[in-house]
Structure 1
Amino acid sequence: MSAGGGTKAIVAALLANLGIAVTKLLAFILTGSSSMLAESFHSVADTGNQALLLLGGRRAKRGATPKHPFGYGRERYVYAFIVSIVLFSLGGLFALYEAYHKFQHPEPITAWKWVPVAVLLVAVGLEGFSFRTAIHESNQIRGNTSWKDFIRRAKAPELPVVLLEDFGALVGLLFALVGVGMTLVTGNGMWDAAGTAMIGLLLVTIAIILAVETKSLLLGEAASLTDLARIEQAILSGDDVQSVIHMRTLHLGPEELLVAAKIAVSPNERAEDVARAIDAVESRIREAVPIARVIYLEPDIYSARTAAQGPKTGTSAPPPADGTGPGSAGQPTAAGSPER
């Protein structure tokens, strides 16, 4: 994800949610609608979430230090995970608590009756603008990937977070419109409470999805299958490497990848030639996958006997104690890693 695209979508969402939060809170003060109060806290939580995403993006740009030699790129994942917690607690749980309270003491809307409807319709327009911006920015990098796979596999968390938040906000506004509208028509405050409960359940569900996906990024994910194939092809595209014995990759951040590989070279190569070959392989990897910023290559002796057996596919397992099996010298394996 380009930093500019993600920032544009976040800023659009922040401005929209800030305006919506103020209007919803005013509508609650005038009418006492629990749906409007729940939606107010939803928008306040979303506004804070966008501020957290911007802060995480800024802090992630700090350079490496002796204490953090690989930099702070993964701090973007930390702040995205905090966003899921805020959405769950401040948005979802508060809405459920307010719904429970209103179910116990349902109240009709008696003052400024149509103010909530007007506010909600304006909010739908503002949220729609924010959602449209997030979709436009996502489409620039999504390609032919489905929306489900884009959210599950994106290494940059900001756009998926904004997409889910905006989608949840639009659905929540529909719940609020139904709850408020039916309360106005029937005079029964239970409809308002039901709309509030649906908003709470929606926010809790979205927060759980965000937490699960962001947790995977925090734990450390390998490169995408496409990038893995490009890296392996770059390693083997010259005459200086016989095979890839095994390879590991790890995202140090959305736009920074660590590559570690054991490569098989000819036993007749001199140390100077091996060093030159490693430099050439590193250049090819960076050209094929520009986000491969940190590369460690370990040369090993190539074995023609085991190479004749053909490469194995899949993620190679750690070598056994006796030195045999995948990952040991002379047994090339193709690198691969399942995605979320």
Structure 2
Amino acid sequence: MAKESAAAIYASIAANVAIGATKFTAASFTGSSAMAAEGVHSLVDACDGLLLLLGRRRSRRPPTPEHPFGHGRELYFWSLIVAILFFALGGGLSVYEGIRHLLHPEPLKSPAWNYAVLGFAALFDGGSLVVGLRQFRESAGGRGFWAAIREGKDPSLFSVVLEDIADMAGIALAFLGVFLGHLLDNPYFDGAASVGVGLVMAGVAGVLLVESKGLLIGERADADIVECITAAAAGMYDADVRRIRTMQLAPHEVLVTLDVTFRRGLTREQVLAAIAELERRTRAASPDRLLLYLEISALQDHRP
């Protein structure tokens, strides 16, 4: 899944670099602010993909004395930076360019360039979206789209999907701006489309900011994993697990603490065997790598 997620990012980067260059070329020939905004949009997407790849690579570094739990959450830091860039550079510059064009409108020239580039962009962005959505659905585990985003632990995957959706929405807005501006001989439609592209990017960036912040400050593990761990611990005879706490450290790495009490009268060997059995059951309950810690609070009488 990690390799497939990286493949979705690479596909998005390649598509956005090629599309961004053609959009800027078309904007220079036609004077379209919506097309220039879309060029900024594509280049910001490409830079975001590079930052996500950087975050994925740095998050795989092994633990050190300064970072005993590893560097997995560095991916969440870089996904937060991606959201900020998407909002500031993508959304902000697109809105600025649109407002500037509304204040000082210029007639469109050679709209055929815009139509050709938008068709090219729709083809490549659509292909990138198909790749990203396929991986996203496989990781969603049957959950709905928004539920999978809210509960997702791999921002490098849902960030690419959301950005590709924003790309397709931006292409549609840019097409409407160019088409209506040319049809009605009204350049204000082009500026309004640029503002619309910026607002779409700002909205997507807002979702990414919220999700990245939650992962960075520490979210619990996926509810299904918590339920499986709870069920596994509940089957113990010599130990009673009273409280389970989890925190996501990386897309497939979870910190788990168990508040455990043992039955009175157990020998040292029996306590050690119960601990080993509890660890075995807990780790077997999750497909993710678990960093497991037991907090032994007190001994208790035998449960009926």
TM-score when normalising by structure 2: 0.96
1:288 aligns with 2:260: no
Distance 1:154 1:18 in 2: 27
CA distance in structure 1 between the partners assigned to 2:125 and 2:238 by the alignment: 55
1:181: Cα distance to partner? Answer: 0.9
1:251 to 248, 255, 258: 248
1:93 paired residue number = 92
Q: Name the structure 2 match of 1:15.
A: 14
Distance in structure 2 (CA, Å) of the matches to 1:298 and 1:278? 11
The answer (yes or no) to whether the contact 1:251–1:257 under 8 Å persists in 2 is yes
Equivalent position amino acid for 1:44 in 2: L
Kept in 1, the 8 Å contact 2:111–2:178? The answer is no
For residues 121-142 of structure 1, what are the alpha-carbon distances to aligned partners after superposition, in whole Å with 9 as ceiling and x for unaligned? 1101111000000111112221
CA offset digits 1:262-293 (Å, max 9, x no partner)? 11211111223212211221111111113242
Structure 2 residue aligned with 1:191: 189
Q: Distance in 1 between matches of 2:41 and 2:223?
A: 37
Shift in Å, 1:237: 2.4
Deviation at 1:240, TM superposition (A): 2.8
1:178 paired with 2:170, answer no
Give the equivalent residue in structure 1 for 2:73. Answer: 74
Q: Deviations over 1:34-56 (max 9, x none)?
A: 00110000000000000111111
Asked whether the 8 Å contact 2:263–2:301 carries over to 1, the reply is no
Is the contact made by 2:258 and 2:294 (CA closer than 8 Å) also made in structure 1?
A: yes
SS of the residue aligned with 2:111?
coil
Distance in 2 separating the partners of 1:39 and 1:204: 14
- SS of 2:296's equivalent in the other structure is strand
- 1:24 aligned residue: 23
Deviation, 1:179, is 0.2
* 3-state SS of paired residue (1:290): coil
Aligned residue for 1:139?
A: 137
User: What SS is found at the alignment partner of 2:153?
Assistant: coil
Counterpart residue identity of residue 228, structure 1:
V
- For each residue in 1:88-138, what CA deviation from the matched residue of structure 2 results, as whole angstroms up to 9, or x when unmatched? 01100001111111111111112x331011100110111100000011111
CA contact (8 A) 2:264 2:301 kept: no
Shift of 1:62: 0.4
Q: What displacement does 1:304 show?
A: 5.3
Partner of 1:123: 121
CA–CA distance in structure 2, aligned partners of residues 144 and 293 of structure 1:
23
Gaps of 5+ in 1: 309-340
Match of 2:155 in 1: 157
CA positional deviation for 1:248: 1.0
State the identity as a percent: 36
Secondary structure of 2:221's aligned partner: coil
After TM superposition, give the deviation of residue 302 of structure 1 in Å. Answer: 5.0
Contact 1:285 1:292 in 2 (8 A): no
User: 1:257–1:78: structure 2 CA closer, same or farther, 3 Å change rule?
Assistant: same
- Check the 8 A contact 1:267/1:301 in 2, yes or no: no
1:170-210 deviation per Cα after TM superposition (whole angstroms, max 9, x unaligned) = 00100000001111112211010010010011111110111
Q: Aligned-residue CA RMSD in angstroms?
A: 1.5
Q: Distance in 2 between the 1:117 and 1:134 partners? A: 25
Segment of structure 1 superposing worse, 274-283 or 129-138: 274-283
Deviates more, 1:285-294 or 1:172-181: 285-294
Output the CA distance in 2 between the equivalents of 1:245 and 1:281: 13
Q: CA deviation at 1:158?
A: 1.2
CA contact (8 A) 2:33 2:101 kept: yes
Q: In 2, distance between residues paired with 1:269 and 1:299? A: 14
What SS does the corresponding residue of 2:66 show, helix, strand or coil? coil
Equivalent of 1:263, from 260, 269, 275? 260
| Corresponding letter in the other structure for 1:150 | A
Q: How far is the alpha carbon of 1:303 from its aligned partner? A: 4.2
Q: Which runs of at least 4 in structure 1 moved beyond 6 Å after TM superposition?
A: none
Alignment correspondent of 2:57: 58
Q: Match for residue 222 of structure 1?
A: 220
* Alignment gaps of 5+ in structure 2: none
Per the alignment, in what secondary structure is the counterpart of residue 107 of structure 2? Answer: coil
Separation (CA, whole Å) in 1 of partners of 2:99 and 2:231? 58
